[in-house]
Amino acid sequence: MTAADLTLDTLGLFCPIPVILTSKKIKQMELNQVLEILSDDEGIKKDMPAWCKSSGNEFLDLLQEGKVFRVYVRKTKQP
């Protein structure tokens, strides 16, 4: 399992809000820190890898526990 430096809870929020909140949070983080995003929006499975590709950050992993998705993103780019 990936170790996260910070966790962002977006449970109950739907596309594009989890990606928008992730973008804001990652800008506040240090380079190479890992953000864990909690979401129950099925769309996160395709939205987060796409955002990582377009933003230059590293998509590490996506785990599903019941209806909750845990997504791990490493900050690899300074804004």
CATH code for position 37: 3.30.110.40
Q: Which structural domain range is residue 65 located in? A: 6-74
Give a yes or no: residue 67 inside a domain: yes
Q: What is the pLDDT of residues 33-74, one digit of tens each?
A: 999 999 999 999 999 999 999 999 999 999 999 999 999 999
Q: What pLDDT is recorded for position 78?
A: 74
Q: What pLDDT is recorded for position 7?
A: 98
Give a yes or no: residue 1 inside a domain: no
Give a yes or no: residue 49 inside a domain: yes
pLDDT bin (cut points 50, 70, 90) of residue 79 is low
pLDDT bin (cut points 50, 70, 90) of residue 1 is low
- 52 neighbors 20 (Cβ within 8 angstroms): no
User: Which amino acid belongs to residue 68?
Assistant: V
- 9 neighbors 35 (Cβ within 8 angstroms): no
Q: What pLDDT is recorded for position 4?
A: 97
Catalytic residue among 6, 15, 38, 62: 15
Active-site annotation holds for 15: yes
- 36 neighbors 72 (Cβ within 8 angstroms): yes
Give a yes or no: residue 79 inside a domain: no
